[in-house]
Structure 1
Amino acid sequence: MTRFLGTGWFCCLLLLPLSAAAEEAATVAVEVGAISGELAPELERNIRAHLAIERLNGEPAPMSSRLQYLHRQASEQIEAALQPFGYYAPHIEAELIRGNEGWVARYRIAPGQPVRLDAVDLQVTGEAEDDPVMKKLEHSETLVPGAVLHHADYENHKSRMRSVAAERGYYEAEFGRQQLRVDPQRRQADIELRLDAGPRYRIGEVRYGESPVDLSLLQRYQPFANGDPVTTNKLLELQRYLIDSEYFSTVEVQPLWDEAVDHVVPIQVGLEPNKRTAYKFGIGYGTDTGARMSSSVRRRWLNRRGHSWNGLLRLSEVKSAVVLQYNIPGKVPYTDQYGARIKQETEDTDTTDSTLTSIGGFWQKQLGPWQQVLSLDWEQERYTLSDEENETTFLIPGGSWTITRADNPLNPSRGYRFSLTLKGASESLLSEANFVQGLASGKHVLSLSERMRLLSRADIGVTAMENFAVMPSSHRFYAGGDSSVRGYGYKELGPENSDGDVVGGRNLLTASAEVDYLVAENWRVAAFFDTGNAINSVNDPLKSGAGLGVRYLSPIGPVRVDLAVPLEDSGFRIHFTLGPDL
């Protein structure tokens, strides 16, 4: 008998490591679903986030006592996970079973009927009662009687009330009452939010740090006046305008709340002057221009009045230019400026060979959403057309008006750009002929789905001129190229002379439609159709091209590679461009 007992104990000791090894090899699987139908994804995500046992999902099982303890907590945790979505009386079926491959913790849930809002009281008091922006906070699209209670909507509206009050200068704003009362039995909830905004603080003295330009110029950058309400947006605008001026490398705008007197707060603007001279160099390639390089220098300020000058040298196989420009800040310097410029441009293509020298001035001003540029340029141009050398002199007044709207400047899902340019000349004003010319250009981006966009553009140009033969090459219309009718070369399309050489036209008509699709992060594929031509009459034929392309969404704008085929002619052409869609 003793021998038998001893043998039994020995066998048990041998089995212990095997049992421990089996326990160690077991894993835990956590299943969450609905008793019937499907559980809403947001509910499942929140349940798993609340479940402590979820941390063991797919992991080796702990001691069974630990697993049982976590399982007993699960129902309470599921209830807590459902309450933010308005479900306060769920039915939960929970089981923990041991299978052949490990433990399975299974939870089936019926959320039940949600709690709905009954009484909703949103109020703003104090000086904010006369502030229309603050009064809008007394209404919410989500916090309305009858709506399902979502705790996130309640918290978001509280945060919005606080943030809008702070943005609009209600520095002492605080909630007098903030309550969310839930009655699970009646499945009803009441909300009460009463924000006492208190007094509204106003802008006092604006103190600027060290600056290379006069205080009077800095004050013209202010998008507010002394005594205006303190708003975060206006302070951020001042910061952005000063940085964009390029006078400063660092700008910090801070209200000095501790120094406020009678609810008037001084503003401190910390400034760090920029390097006075900036140099830039660049190289690139485009199928319209061929290989290119550029070099520029900018003297950010010449004097205390903030005048500046910049020079540009641009070289390419097709177009080259040298430009010197003197700039004077306008009355509203972050949008307006005056300037004078002198430039020389050369262009050598299969259709044109020209050298243009010009001296002139411009006035740039913002008119609401439109940017207006008025100009006056004296131009002398030497050019060759049809193997004939010509030289013309014109004094050309002109104007352009541009508007751009986009949800994202570099990769818009929707937006548009429209520009109108008018210019002309008169024989009575130092010009060799009379002419009037207009060019309207438009681009549009429309989202067709989350991944698909429709991009369209059109250009319409018209010239009124009796003796078009003396019109210089730079003011004639041509078509073809990366931003025109793809499938044709740069300025390859237009009216031809008797020898078949393209000489440019009086009018321009081009249009394009393109669909692109996001196939992977930062990558799109595109299909497009372009049509148009430079023409002298409505009877002149249009040319068309179509093709496929690839776009890489780089940090500086889309890089495009297109393979285009001319539909009326033979061959194909590859187009390579870089830049924003609008």
Structure 2
Amino acid sequence: MALTVLWAGMTGARAADPQPYVTVIRPTGNADLDAAVRASSDLLGLQKTHTVNPFALVGRIHNDYARIRSALESFGYYAPDIRIQAAIASKTGEGTPQDGHDPDLPEWMQAIPANQKLELTISITKGTQFHIGVITLNPAKGQPPVRLDDHENAALGIKTGDPAIAANILKAQSQLQTALAEEGYALADVGTPQAWLRPQTKTIDLAFTIMRGPVVNLGAFGFGGLRRTHPAYVVRRLTIAPGELYQPSRIEAARQGLSSMGVFSDVQVRHDQQLASDGTLPLDFRFVESKRHSVGVEGGYSTDLGGRAGVSWTHRNLFGNAERLRLTALVTGLGGSAEQGLGYDVYADLMKPDFGSRNQNLSARIEWIRQLLYSYRQTALLARAGVVRRVSSHWNVAFGGEIEQERIDQMSQTNDYFIASLPLSATYDGTGVDNPITPATHGVRINMNVTPSVSLEHRTSFFAIMQATISTYFDLKHLGLSRPGRSVFAIRGTIGNVEGASTFDIPPDQRLYAGGSATVRGYRYQGVGPQFPHSRYAIGGTSMDAGSLEYRQRILQKFGAVGFIDVGQVADGSTPFKGTLRAGAGAGARYYTPIGPVRLDIAVPLNRPPRGDKWELYVGLGETF
């Protein structure tokens, strides 16, 4: 004999386990508040990934009341009406929806057939927004009464009558503590605010407990982890010193300055919460030094200059004062239309930071070059040294000296030259981009060079090369046409001339040329300007100008497209904007990597000379300008 047990509330259909559902949150009219409610709702956040049985779903509904109330209270709504109703999704609009607080809701859900989905609707009546009432500043035990000056009141950032938004109240605590620390109160402490709800007046009264403590100066500095770096150099690099007022922002700036030296992988600074016996606060700097040696590879390709590939070896912190030695060897001219054969470029660079004074670096180079261009063949040994000084956050200036011994073969004539020059330059960068490979989206860049030179051995001549380049960037977000950084126009202009000597009195490598990625794409390197009759040999000139307009469009997250047009000309004279104007146009693709965009551009000449190339391809890292 079998015993049959019947459970109240059950139907013949089998209940769903888990119970599928969808959540609908009706808007409140405040977009920020709606976003906070959606983020706080477990019903919404877990509806696809963590479905549960009906009894657990009822528990989730009950939890959502508290979670949504907390979100509303964070915006100052302390008397809201929150309703969560359940209905069978396929029968929405029919029958009576079940209230989330209904004690019979579990049994009602158990009776839902397995093939039915629930629709949970969250409706919110915000009620009146509460405002800040009385703000009380209490001294910590044993401290004098608290009185804030104008600067500290501004740092607090809240006042009586403001909406009682929790984020602003909590931010007031941290902002006031930061302001007190910046005034030298190293041991200051602002406690978590206490709040009292006043439903009758729809206000919240606040009380902050504040301990100022004494005004503190910096004490002795300790340095740990320095194995190869001289402590005396670290001290010279610091922008703070013992005896100065304690200010966290200046300490952090000093820490970042040490991190930027390039010899440390990590720099930390700590201090105790107790003062030294003399009333000062000592600082303890801890360093992790970077690896001293690294090996890198370099490569690039364009159809005019061909491929270039090589390796470099870098030694950091050579003498213990953050000096850097880099040795590089490159093979050049791998199949380029403007090249007649393989060449090489081998050089050694030495950089010594803080040479003579802070923000002033010494750089020196010895370089061996061989390049077999169609314009000329050159073998050269050069040495140069110079100083680069940062004069402001945007401006750098450089000056130095250079000597070069070279042999040049052009049109079957071989000549030796010895050239001495004094290059001077000034650069301005207002783009806000620290890494030159990172694409700029706004601002202006300017580079100006003047190089007085004397050429000896063959046709002794004195001349000065002057050249200036300016580029600017315009983000279409300013017109409301795109999101920031997605659509950008880039414009570049270059002008140069040589004073003091005619074209054939100047060594061929010192003349001005155009063509290639740096000036007019679509034409091979040195392919714009006067040429020797019936040949591909460029003569060069003493004046040059070029301009580029480029449109850069990001596509999805990692890709981009570019369209551009370039123009330029070279002439034999001291006045720019003369000669045969050449124009090129093209398009390209970008793939954005963490270190910068990989560039691929194809360009065609719009009015190429009779012996010019029909198209050019350029591959590299970073934007063209």
Q: Into which bin does the TM-score normalised by the smaller protein fall?
A: 0.7 to 0.9
Q: Which of 31, 42, 62 is residue 53 of structure 2 equivalent to?
A: 62
Q: Shift of residue 201 of structure 1?
A: 3.2
TM-score, normalised relative to structure 1? 0.82
Pick closer, same or farther for the CA change 1:137–1:422 going to 2, 3 Å.
Answer: farther
Q: Which of 270, 282, 291 is residue 254 of structure 1 equivalent to?
A: 270
Q: Distance in 2 between matches of 1:113 and 1:535?
A: 76
Q: Shift of residue 184 of structure 1?
A: 5.3
Q: Which residue of 2 aligns with 1:433?
A: 461
Contact 2:371 2:379 in 1 (8 A): yes
Pick closer, same or farther for the CA change 1:106–1:152 going to 2, 3 Å.
Answer: same
* Alignment deviations for residues 183-225 of structure 1 (CA, whole Å, 9 cap, x no partner): 5555556667686544343333223344435443332211223
Q: Shift of residue 578 of structure 1?
A: 0.8
The residue correspondences of 1:361-372 to structure 2 (distance < 5 A) are: 361-369=385-393, 370-372=395-397
Q: Shift of residue 419 of structure 1?
A: 1.6
* Aligned: 1:107 with 2:122: yes
Partner AA of 2:517 in structure 1? D
Pick closer, same or farther for the CA change 1:539–1:251 going to 2, 3 Å.
Answer: closer
Contact 1:517 1:524 in 2 (8 A): yes
Q: Which residue of 1 aligns with 2:556?
A: 520
Q: Shift of residue 490 of structure 1?
A: 1.9
* Aligned: 1:96 with 2:89: no
Pick closer, same or farther for the CA change 1:138–1:307 going to 2, 3 Å.
Answer: same
Q: Which of 402, 407, 427 is residue 382 of structure 1 equivalent to?
A: 407
User: Does 443-452 or 309-318 show the bigger shift?
Assistant: 309-318
Report the count of equivalent residues. Answer: 566
Pick closer, same or farther for the CA change 1:120–1:443 going to 2, 3 Å.
Answer: farther
Q: Shift of residue 499 of structure 1?
A: 4.0
Q: Shift of residue 141 of structure 1?
A: 11
Partner AA of 1:172 in structure 2? L
* Aligned: 1:324 with 2:339: no
Q: Shift of residue 580 of structure 1?
A: 5.4
Contact 1:433 1:467 in 2 (8 A): no
Match of 2:74, SS state, is: helix
Q: Shift of residue 111 of structure 1?
A: 3.0
* Alignment deviations for residues 214-259 of structure 1 (CA, whole Å, 9 cap, x no partner): 4433322112233223444544454455455455565444335546
User: Does 109-118 or 281-290 show the bigger shift?
Assistant: 109-118
Q: Shift of residue 172 of structure 1?
A: 1.0
Contact 1:207 1:269 in 2 (8 A): yes
Partner AA of 1:432 in structure 2? T
Q: Which residue of 1 aligns with 2:476?
A: 448
Match of 2:171, SS state, is: helix
Match of 2:509, SS state, is: helix
Match of 1:24, SS state, is: coil
Partner AA of 2:402 in structure 1? D
Q: Which residue of 1 aligns with 2:336?
A: none
Pick closer, same or farther for the CA change 1:549–1:143 going to 2, 3 Å.
Answer: farther
Q: Distance in 1 between matches of 2:363 and 2:66?
A: 72
Partner AA of 2:233 in structure 1? L
* Aligned: 1:530 with 2:569: no
Q: Which residue of 2 aligns with 1:3?
A: none
Partner AA of 2:545 in structure 1? L
Match of 2:173, SS state, is: helix
User: Does 425-434 or 48-57 show the bigger shift?
Assistant: 425-434
Match of 1:139, SS state, is: helix
Q: Distance in 2 between matches of 1:422 and 1:138?
A: 53
User: Does 545-554 or 570-579 show the bigger shift?
Assistant: 570-579
Contact 2:492 2:548 in 1 (8 A): yes
Contact 2:584 2:605 in 1 (8 A): yes
Q: Which of 348, 362, 376 is residue 352 of structure 1 equivalent to?
A: 376
* Alignment deviations for residues 395-427 of structure 1 (CA, whole Å, 9 cap, x no partner): 211111223344443244334432211111258
Contact 2:400 2:422 in 1 (8 A): yes
Q: Which of 531, 547, 557 is residue 596 of structure 2 equivalent to?
A: 557
* Aligned: 1:423 with 2:451: yes
Match of 2:26, SS state, is: strand
Pick closer, same or farther for the CA change 1:309–1:73 going to 2, 3 Å.
Answer: closer
* Aligned: 1:212 with 2:228: yes
Pick closer, same or farther for the CA change 1:54–1:403 going to 2, 3 Å.
Answer: same
* Aligned: 1:484 with 2:475: no
Pick closer, same or farther for the CA change 1:359–1:184 going to 2, 3 Å.
Answer: same
Pick closer, same or farther for the CA change 1:248–1:25 going to 2, 3 Å.
Answer: closer
Q: Shift of residue 365 of structure 1?
A: 2.0
Partner AA of 2:592 in structure 1? L
Q: Distance in 1 between matches of 2:178 and 2:220?
A: 24
Pick closer, same or farther for the CA change 1:240–1:211 going to 2, 3 Å.
Answer: farther
User: Does 211-220 or 441-450 show the bigger shift?
Assistant: 211-220
Q: Which residue of 2 aligns with 1:461?
A: 496
Higher share in helix: 1
Contact 1:177 1:195 in 2 (8 A): no
* Alignment deviations for residues 305-346 of structure 1 (CA, whole Å, 9 cap, x no partner): 776644332221166322234554445676323354332222
For the aligned residue pairs, the C-alpha RMSD in angstroms reads 4.1
Partner AA of 1:33 in structure 2? R
Contact 2:316 2:325 in 1 (8 A): yes
TM-score, normalised relative to structure 2? 0.77
Q: Shift of residue 551 of structure 1?
A: 0.8
Contact 1:402 1:420 in 2 (8 A): yes
Contact 2:156 2:172 in 1 (8 A): no
Contact 1:443 1:456 in 2 (8 A): yes
Contact 2:156 2:173 in 1 (8 A): no
Q: Which of 215, 218, 222 is residue 203 of structure 1 equivalent to?
A: 218
Match of 1:87, SS state, is: coil
Q: Distance in 2 between matches of 1:123 and 1:347?
A: 77
Q: Distance in 2 between matches of 1:189 and 1:481?
A: 68
Contact 2:419 2:456 in 1 (8 A): no
Q: Which of 12, 17, 20 is residue 27 of structure 1 equivalent to?
A: 20
Pick closer, same or farther for the CA change 1:411–1:150 going to 2, 3 Å.
Answer: farther
* Aligned: 1:150 with 2:165: yes
Q: Shift of residue 27 of structure 1?
A: 2.3
Match of 1:85, SS state, is: coil
Partner AA of 1:485 in structure 2? V
Q: Which residue of 2 aligns with 1:270?
A: 286
Identity %: 21
Pick closer, same or farther for the CA change 1:185–1:498 going to 2, 3 Å.
Answer: farther
* Aligned: 1:172 with 2:172: no
Partner AA of 1:173 in structure 2? A
Q: Which of 554, 571, 574 is residue 614 of structure 2 equivalent to?
A: 571
Q: Distance in 1 between matches of 2:416 and 2:311?
A: 29
Pick closer, same or farther for the CA change 1:515–1:185 going to 2, 3 Å.
Answer: farther
Contact 2:268 2:286 in 1 (8 A): yes
